[in-house]
Every structure is written in C-alpha cells, then in structure tokens.
C-alpha cells in the first residue's frame, strides 16, 4: 500500500490507493519543509560526535571512581557502540561530497576517530585495572598471603 502525505501552504493531503483526504492545518501546526545541505548534515553529525565524546569522558570518571561500576561499564559500552555506528554514518556521508571537500571532511573525521580510539583504550585500561585489582586484591595483605602460600 502506497501512502503519501503532502503538505501544502494551508492544506494537508493524505493519498492512498483507495482514498484521498484533505484537511485544513491550523497555523500553530504548519510544517515547512527545508532541505539540509550536505555540510549542514556533516556538522550535525560532528555535534553528535562531540556530545558522545563528552558523555564518554564523564562516564569514564564515574567508572574510575568505582561507584556503580557495572552500570557505568554498560553505559560506556553502549555509548562506544553508538559512536562507532555514528562514525560509520559519517563515513558514508563524506563519500557523497566532492573530492576536494572529501579530503577536508576526512581529516575532520580522523580527529574524531582518533579521539574515540583513545577513549576506547582508556576504557579498556580502566576495566582491566579493575578486574586485575579484583583478582589480586586491593591490599598488599592478599598478595602477601598468596606469596606465603606459594613459598610453602
């Protein structure tokens, strides 16, 4: 079934295979269609990437503090997955630009990729240190007991 909604100046038309409906749109609900340029779309993606990077940094601080470690870890993993998906979308968007613009946008994208790569490494490091401290123990007493047991 094919459905089209067409917005005119004051009228909305709903077209389907079986019927056509028109109605008056109040001034408060009028929608104006505006197409975004490719650079505006790229800038919007960049804003989203900046927001995700800031969110990751804030969540890494929570993770380092040790409070709500599991929920912070899950949140960070979800944000990292979301950022990877967004980077892939931006890569597709960059392909649609001319070759000259593509070079500039690719350089900008590389900066974001590098930042997310560093944040991912930092996340992995914090998780590794936490797992290591849980395994070995946070105090030297546990290590001392393990060494004494191994010496016997």
- The pLDDT of residue 28 is 52
Residue 44 has pLDDT above 80, yes or no: yes
Q: Is 17 exposed, middle or buried (0-12, 13-18, 19+ CB in 10 A)?
A: exposed
Mean pLDDT of all residues belonging to the chain: 76
Asked whether residue 53 falls in the same domain as residue 121, the answer is yes
76 and 123 Cβ atoms separated by less than 8 Å: yes
Rounded CA-CA distance 58/78 in Å is 14
Q: What is the mean pLDDT of residues 32-54?
A: 79
For CA atoms 54, 58, 61, 63, give the dihedral sign.
Answer: negative
Asked whether residue 45 falls in the same domain as residue 30, the answer is no
Asked whether residue 50 falls in the same domain as residue 124, the answer is yes
CATH number at residue 73: 1.20.58.400
In this structure, how many other beta carbons lie within 10 angstroms of the beta carbon of residue 45?
A: 20
Q: Which of 7-11, 79-83, 135-139, 142-146 has the lowest mean pLDDT?
A: 7-11
Asked whether residue 24 falls in the same domain as residue 43, the answer is no
Q: What is the pLDDT of residues 105-129, one digit of tens each?
A: 899 999 999 999 999 999 999 988 8
Indicate whether this model's pTM tops 0.75. no
Q: Which domain holds residue 99?
A: 38-135
Element (H, E) at 23: strand 20-24
Asked whether residue 116 falls in the same domain as residue 63, the answer is yes
């Amino acid at each position: 079934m094919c459905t089209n909604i067409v917005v005119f100046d004051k009228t909305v038309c709903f077209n389907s295979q079986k019927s056509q409906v028109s109605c008056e749109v109040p001034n408060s609900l009028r929608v104006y269609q505006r197409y975004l340029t490719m650079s505006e779309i790229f800038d919007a993606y960049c804003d989203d990437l900046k927001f995700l990077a800031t969110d990751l940094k804030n969540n890494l601080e929570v993770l380092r503090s040790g409070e709500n470690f599991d929920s912070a870890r899950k949140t960070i993993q979800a944000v990292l997955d979301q950022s990877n998906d967004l980077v892939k979308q931006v890569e597709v968007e960059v392909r649609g630009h001319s070759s000259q613009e593509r070079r500039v946008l690719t350089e900008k994208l590389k900066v974001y990729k590098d930042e997310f790569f560093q944040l991912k490494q930092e996340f992995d490091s914090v998780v590794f240190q936490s797992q290591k401290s849980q395994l070995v123990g946070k105090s030297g007493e546990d290590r001392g007991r393990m060494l004494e047991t191994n010496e016997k």
